[in-house]
Structure 1
Amino acid sequence: MYIHDLNCGWMAHPFLWTRFLLRAEKTIGLIVAAGIQEVYIDTRKGLDEPHAPTMHEISRKQDSEIIDFARAHPPLERKVEISGEMVHARRIHSEARLVVHGILQDVRMGRQVKLEKIHPSIEHLTDSILRNSGALLSLCRIKNKDNYTFLHSVSVGALMVSFCHAQGMEREAMHQAGIGGMLHDIGKMMIPDDILNKPGKLSTMEFSLMKCHVVESRRILEATEGISATAVDVAAQHHERHDGSGYPLGLKGGEISPLGQMAAIVDVYDALTSDRCYHQAIAPTDALRKILEWSRFYFDPALVHVFMRYIGIYPVGTLVRLESGRLGVVVEQNDSDLISPKVRVFFSSKSNTHIRPEVIDLAHGMGSGGGDRIVRHESPKKWNLNPGSFL
């Protein structure tokens, strides 16, 4: 058979390529040993399995599940409009990035982590998320490859705070989860740069060294004065998986703390939606689709549903094409329907020109500010557009 997709994240398999012809039985053993439960095969290039569902059938089933879920779970309330929060969110995001950069650089130089540097940043970040999480989380998706580790750390911290808020946790729990999220990859400062930033696939030895960052994160944080067990769990368990196929300890199900399980979801979501030197980002909607698919094995399905409800099927900042041919950016989740958010349209795909910006509520009918629907998400790069400038 010809493997078309190993159906897992880049850091979850030992192969040089994700697409290849199976030539030996031992390769199947390596796939199983990596904890991979399902793969996609290309029947044009290799043997078929007649009883396996097609990619189209899987996609249709996922679409149905997502729509059913979205209609049954309205999003959480936002206290202010996104336009009113963006100014604060930009300042807070910039502040958090500088704080994380400083802390990680201190660790690289052999200095101790000083938690007093991070507490104010987490407080400001939490305040912004409680007012309107869409503003900050939309900024967290903007990354460049050179500063990925720092920006990814800020994103995971913000997403952890948001995830906790979605479950009604107390502010102190949100705060500690945010600290753990921001510092979850601190152990990467112990990994050589040539491995950390390697543009190609890691060798088996390099792969093993990279996975050691989780152990290093735990060691560093446990030696940090004033750190909580909650924050340590986030860092130490974000690569564990619900079925026991993760690392470093191979914990399974309830052996992983609730926040560790949440961190696993958040870390994968942000990695999938970020450009890296070895892979291109995928759209948030597609990332949620993959996480939902993987929740049968790697993640707690109930937690995945909570995460989807909070993020939205089309997260704030997503560029979408409407049935009318207009392109717009999602500016707010709708109070009653996750698949019909509020969209600011600003471009016509038919005339390939900008149009007068207008906010439409897709949950409303024709004549009531709606009368359109999302056909699919679009790539900003394809259209050379910056949807963030219309938030």
Structure 2
Amino acid sequence: MYIEKMAGPWLASPFWQRQLLLDNVDDLNKLRASTIREVWINLAKSTIVVSPAGSADAPAPPAEPAAITEPAPPPAVRPALNAIVPVGIADELEHATVLLKKSREAVQSMFMEARMGKAISMEAAAPLVDEIAESVLRNSDAMIGLARLKTSDDYTYMHSVAVCALMVALGKQLNLDDDALREAGMAGLLHDIGKMAIPLTILQKPGKLSDEEYQQIKRHPKAGYDMLASLPMIPAAALDVCLHHHEKIDGSGYPEGLKGGSISLYSRMGAICDVYDAITSNRPYKQGWCPAESLRRMAEWSKGHFDERIFAAFVKCLGIYPIGTLVRLKSERIGVVVEQATGKPLTKPKVRVFYSAKSRSYLRPELIDLSAPGVKDGIASTEEAATWGLEDIDRYWSGEVEFI
């Protein structure tokens, strides 16, 4: 049968397409197992011949020669996200690197179409969200860490990819189901689409914004909501996060000044993910803070700005020392956090040491799992690369230096 339309949110469907030919029992069972409860069938496009009512015993009409047609491609089935098996960062870095390049190009294309007044293609956005979600669920450190390395020129596009990845990671920590994870990811991907209504001269201004320019920036949530509201089957979460990701728990946010429980779960998540990526990224007007320092400052703001329970879950999924944090060990060696040790204390990540604080000289890079049995070393402090004259420290975890 040919499905013309499904009742329910797009992301509740087990297939990427909204219209498709369903011609096997396995795909039918996937549809039955989903939360989609109604579909519209186009009989003219279906391959099943439906007999008129009351004619079950009527002789079949003479067979006519079948037209020779190309078989329809099988519907693209969405993966079961919560069933994805985690892997180590070394096994995901290469794939995440390729996916980030693809994601940047896709988001840039979508955003440029939005700037020209064209509608966003949900059929392009949905598979991209799934790919990002799959990578994050295999290893969140790889995708989230690499997305943080965006240049200031790429910020507008890669910020959306990064927030998508962070929303999925946080959603997983909050035990959201597959449909909710997809909605969270889509909300993250599209949360800043309204910035396409803001002049580039303001978005890319290297200095401080004037009061008038800042007021224009504050228009982007409502502008984005208006862009998305006309799209068919846009998830409610995407609309909500687009409009409310700058709201704060104490009511001091914008555009509506919502407070506490008036802010949805998705928008409370979006506020945290948006701020974290913004303050860890290099911008035209400032350098990003290191991940651990960013979490420390966000913890200070959390009582007024963020939902404290959700922020605690955010810290738990990233770790107290997120990937890319420069740390000084008790052994006076300096290194970069390269991965969180699964199921181990947040204070004991995997660190790639490469510099001696005593001799102020480089060491042969060595990977140390601080949670491993018998390891007595630990983190003494976080450090700033500039203090030690260190440059390009991200290469020690991003795949440019092989693990030993």
TM range (shorter): 0.7 to 0.9
* 1:258 counterpart = 2:258: no
Instruction: Find 1:357's aligned residue among 342, 350, 365.
Output: 365
**Alpha-carbon offset, residue 326 of structure 1:** 1.6
Distance (whole Å) between structure 2 residues aligned to residue 121 and residue 349 of structure 1 = 43
Kindly tell me: are residues 387 and 209 of structure 1, through their superposed partners in 2, closer, same or farther at Cα, counting changes over 3 Å? closer
* 1:379 counterpart = 2:384: yes
- The residue that corresponds to 1:203 in the other structure is 210
Distance (whole Å) between structure 1 residues aligned to residue 86 and residue 241 of structure 2 = 28
Task: Give the aligned residue type for 1:356.
Answer: R
Contact conserved, 2:173 with 2:317, CA < 8 A, in 1?
yes
* 1:249 counterpart = 2:284: no
Contact conserved, 1:318 with 1:387, CA < 8 A, in 2?
no
**Alpha-carbon offset, residue 380 of structure 1:** 4.0
Matches within 5 A, 1:96-111: 96-111=103-118
Task: For residue 383 of structure 1, give the secondary structure of its aligned residue in structure 2.
Answer: coil
Deviation larger for 376-385 or 118-127: 376-385
Distance (whole Å) between structure 1 residues aligned to residue 328 and residue 371 of structure 2 = 16
- The residue that corresponds to 1:55 in the other structure is none
Contact conserved, 2:160 with 2:192, CA < 8 A, in 1?
yes
- Higher helix proportion: 1
**Alpha-carbon offset, residue 317 of structure 1:** 2.5
**Alpha-carbon offset, residue 302 of structure 1:** 0.6
- The residue that corresponds to 2:61 in the other structure is none
- The residue that corresponds to 1:156 in the other structure is 163
Distance (whole Å) between structure 2 residues aligned to residue 380 and residue 275 of structure 1 = 15
* 1:345 counterpart = 2:350: no
Task: Give the aligned residue type for 1:316.
Answer: I
Contact conserved, 1:364 with 1:371, CA < 8 A, in 2?
no
Distance (whole Å) between structure 1 residues aligned to residue 125 and residue 385 of structure 2 = 33
Matches within 5 A, 1:40-79: 79=86
Distance (whole Å) between structure 1 residues aligned to residue 125 and residue 153 of structure 2 = 22
**Alpha-carbon offset, residue 262 of structure 1:** 0.6
What is the CA deviation profile of residues 265-288 of structure 1, one whole-angstrom value per residue up to 9, with x for unaligned ones? Answer: 111111111111222211111111
Contact conserved, 2:336 with 2:396, CA < 8 A, in 1?
no
- The residue that corresponds to 2:173 in the other structure is 166
Contact conserved, 1:317 with 1:388, CA < 8 A, in 2?
no
Distance (whole Å) between structure 2 residues aligned to residue 390 and residue 148 of structure 1 = 21
**Alpha-carbon offset, residue 376 of structure 1:** 2.2
Task: Give the aligned residue type for 1:346.
Answer: F
* 1:229 counterpart = 2:236: yes
**Alpha-carbon offset, residue 386 of structure 1:** 2.8
Task: For residue 232 of structure 1, give the secondary structure of its aligned residue in structure 2.
Answer: helix
Task: Give the aligned residue type for 1:378.
Answer: E
Contact conserved, 1:320 with 1:328, CA < 8 A, in 2?
yes
Distance (whole Å) between structure 2 residues aligned to residue 289 and residue 330 of structure 1 = 16
RMSD of aligned residue pairs (Cα, Å): 1.7
Q: Larger Cα Rg: Structure 1 or Structure 2? A: 2
**Alpha-carbon offset, residue 78 of structure 1:** 7.7
Task: For residue 255 of structure 2, give the secondary structure of its aligned residue in structure 1.
Answer: coil
* 1:113 counterpart = 2:120: yes
* 1:330 counterpart = 2:337: yes
Deviation larger for 172-181 or 211-220: 172-181
Relative CO higher for 1 or 2, CA cutoff 8 Å, sep ≥ 6?
A: 1
- The residue that corresponds to 1:144 in the other structure is 151
Name the % identity.
44
**Alpha-carbon offset, residue 98 of structure 1:** 1.1
* 1:291 counterpart = 2:298: yes
What is the CA deviation profile of residues 78-101 of structure 1, one whole-angstrom value per residue up to 9, with x for unaligned ones? Answer: 821110111111111111111111
Contact conserved, 1:97 with 1:154, CA < 8 A, in 2?
yes
- The residue that corresponds to 1:131 in the other structure is 138
Task: Give the aligned residue type for 1:135.
Answer: A
Contact conserved, 2:218 with 2:255, CA < 8 A, in 1?
yes
Structure 2, unaligned runs of 5 or more: 1-83, 399-404
What is the CA deviation profile of residues 128-154 of structure 1, one whole-angstrom value per residue up to 9, with x for unaligned ones? Answer: 111111111110110211121111111
What is the CA deviation profile of residues 16-45 of structure 1, one whole-angstrom value per residue up to 9, with x for unaligned ones? Answer: xxxxxxxxxxxxxxxxxxxxxxxxxxxxxx
Distance (whole Å) between structure 1 residues aligned to residue 352 and residue 117 of structure 2 = 48
**Alpha-carbon offset, residue 167 of structure 1:** 0.8
Task: For residue 205 of structure 2, give the secondary structure of its aligned residue in structure 1.
Answer: coil
**Alpha-carbon offset, residue 385 of structure 1:** 3.3
Deviation larger for 180-189 or 356-365: 356-365
